């Protein structure tokens, strides 16, 4: 057992980081992003630029953001086994947490304390999500086309949320061809 731990210290570290964050963060995947970022960057497992590039890819993939991010970051840090350990670390706490919390909330849903606790969790989640948005926008390289596309996308989705996939696809294609044309002209 000691040899296994010594040989796979980094894998166990990745597993520990993700199980710790997943187990103690309330509010879902987007609420976990600042904690994942801080832990991986502080341990020098990944740079801030690599983290936000990986986050961009994870956001465009279908499925839960925390799981997608865990797979991609684990893969980047330690390959296939890193992806396995990171994703397993993210999945375990919510699985058991949902079982426990659902039974408690079902029994005490009329309690004022439970309702206020859930209201506080909602507010904290909104704050953490806005922090992630701020960090993403801070790291985004704006150009002449990004800002109008950002506002076009926001306005379109406010008017009709059913167009999410088409707006995403349209904005990605426009930005891709704009950047490709810029590189050809340089």
The predicted-structure confidence for 155-179, as pLDDT tens digits, reads as follows 998 998 888 888 888 888 888 888 7
The predicted-structure confidence for 11-24, as pLDDT tens digits, reads as follows 888 999 999 998 88
User: Which class for 13: exposed (0-12), middle (13-18), buried (19 or more C-beta within 10 A)?
Assistant: middle
Instruction: Provide the whole-model pTM.
Output: 0.60
Buried-exposed string 67-98: b where 16+ CB fall within 10 A, e elsewhere = bbbbbbbbbbbbeeebbbbbbebbbebbeeee
The predicted-structure confidence for 31-70, as pLDDT tens digits, reads as follows 888 889 999 999 898 998 899 889 988 988 888 888 999 9
Report how far apart, in Å, the C-alpha atoms of 121 and of each of 7, 14, 81 are. 39, 26, 33
């Amino acid at each position: 057992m000691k040899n296994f731990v010594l040989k796979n210290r980094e894998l166990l570290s990745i597993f520990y980081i993700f199980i710790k964050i997943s187990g103690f963060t309330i509010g879902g995947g987007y609420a976990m992003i600042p904690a994942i970022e801080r832990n991986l960057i502080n341990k020098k497992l990944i740079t801030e630029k690599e983290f936000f590039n990986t986050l961009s890819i994870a956001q465009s993939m279908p499925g839960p953001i925390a799981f997608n991010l865990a797979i991609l970051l684990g893969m980047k840090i330690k390959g296939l086994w890193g992806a396995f350990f990171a994703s397993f670390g993210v999945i375990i706490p919510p699985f058991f947490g949902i079982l426990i919390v659902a039974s408690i909330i079902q029994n005490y849903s009329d309690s004022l304390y439970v309702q206020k606790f859930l209201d506080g969790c909602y507010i904290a989640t909104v704050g953490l999500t806005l922090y992630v948005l701020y960090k993403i926008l801070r790291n985004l390289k704006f150009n002449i086309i990004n800002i109008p596309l950002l506002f076009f996308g926001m306005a379109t989705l406010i008017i009709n949320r059913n167009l999410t996939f088409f707006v995403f696809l349209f904005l990605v294609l426009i930005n891709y061809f704009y950047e490709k044309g810029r590189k050809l002209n340089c």
